[in-house]
Amino acid sequence: MNNQEIVAKLWNLCNVLRDDGITYHQYVTELTYILFLKMCKETGTEGAIPEQYRWDKLLAKQGVELKKFYKELLEHLGGCTGRVREIYQGAQSNIHEPKNLEKIIQTIDQFDWYTAKEEGLGNLYEGLLEKNANEKKSGAGQYFTPRVLINIMTRLIAPQPGERCNDPACGTFGFMIAADRYVKDRTDDLFELPVDQQEFQRTQAFSGCELVHDTHRLALMNAMLHDISGPIYLGDTLSNFGKELKGYDVVLTNPPFGTKKGGERAARDDFTFPTSNKQLNFLQHIYRSLNKTGKARAAVVLPDNVLFADCDGERIRQDLMEKCNLHTILRLPTGIFYAQGVKTNVLFFTRGREDKGNTREIWFYDLRSDMPSFGKTNPLKESHFNEFVECYKDSDLSARTETYSKDNPNGRWRKFTYEEILARDKTSLDITWMKTDSGTEDYTLAELLEQIKEKSTNIAKAVAELEKLIGEVDE
């Protein structure tokens, strides 16, 4: 049984728990508690777990005794030290029926773990996280970055051995896993590096910060299974805690969409332009967190509004272009994120040694105009990025040549000078030039229906909130 089959079987087990009222996200969190014990046994790393709470002890229990023991186990491991504590701290089980818990444990024990280890336990766990994101009912997909996009961004940013990489909104740690894989693939799994540098790669090279406790657990598990023990903080990057996240060589990230709750401004007191727009605050954090060696670089997924927001938005874009060389903007196609209707871009920039005059020209690649809407039925593939990757040429920006021209007005790759950008209203970076056959996006009937359902749900929620407010006023 290969990893793909194990993931499918683990996912099907979730149906066993539907009667317990467990959500998909709760199920993945619960699986993490159980899989951690099994994987420690399989990899011979049970030393950090007290002997009385190891896998074989859990496997030996049944019925009500099992449920009681499992609860005790979660509480005890939450009081341990190190990664064990981080994963189990505050852990609670959502499985009410002992027979369901028993079935999950027995099924996990019967998998072909030898083959799973050969294919990589980290890959197995990533497959599970991806399955969770692809399941719309789980709600996890809203912020899940497609692996194809993660791989393309990582390849173009090209993290190197010895560099410190960070994701300030790390989710399940997907970007840092990809960065680690990129380095390992080019160093014979780190064996080509000196011993001290191998240790650096495992313990210091990759770090992250995550706000949501359960997602933080998944990130820790994912990192552990990929032999990464760098710091993954549980905290808010946009609070003053985030001021300590700095000096990085590489940042790869997809900050969450939306605004601060209640429209309040960021709690950071070091931002020049505090705003209630979460993405603009993340953008400020990211370019401030890069070191000033002249080589520190970032690739960041951001929604369209960051490109055209006025007032503080305009000032932040100008500040970014002064402090960094914002050399490339990739306009992403629609439908690649499960939050319907979100239109996004990837900004590629390099922090300058000085804080002035770093952007001289910006290259735009339009992968959205005249493209189908992507989604479950039409997945995004690496081949869709082939022309962009060919055009990108990061090692020598002067070698770039436009595919756009007067004779080819639908060329997707076009350059604008800094002066041309400054002359635009609000210094807007929301630039389109391609002539398309239709002003509308191409959606399948299923996708249109999904959008209608989502909008109907949002309207119903808004009406309920209004009714509640009116009721409070009347009282």
pLDDT of residue 393: 82
Which carries the bigger pLDDT value, residue 455 or residue 267?
267
pLDDT of 173 over the 90 cut: yes
The CA-CA-CA angle for residues 210, 214, 217, to 5°, reads 75
Which carries the bigger pLDDT value, residue 155 or residue 449?
155
Domains assigned to the chain: 3-131 (1.20.1260.30), 141-427 (3.40.50.150)
| Residue 247 confidence class, pLDDT cut points 50, 70, 90 | very high
Nearest to 130 by CA among 165, 97, 177, 71: 177
Render pLDDT for 250-302 as a digit per residue (tens, 0 to 9).
999 999 876 555 445 557 889 999 898 899 999 999 999 999 999 999 999 99
| Residue 390 exposure: Cα atoms within 13 Å on the Cβ side | 10
The model's pTM is 0.86
pLDDT of 339 over the 60 cut: no
The percent of residues in the chain predicted with pLDDT above 70, rounded, is: 89
Tell me which of 28-37, 43-52, 271-280, 390-399 is least confident: 390-399
State mean pLDDT over 212-232. Answer: 92
State mean pLDDT over 445-462. Answer: 62
State mean pLDDT over 189-195. Answer: 96
pLDDT of residue 141: 47
Enter the DSSP assignment of 167. E
Highest-pLDDT range among 64-78, 141-155, 214-228, 434-448: 64-78
Contacts of 400-408 spanning 24+ positions with Cβ under 8 A: 400/363, 404/433
pLDDT of 446 over the 60 cut: no
* Three-class DSSP category at 184: helix
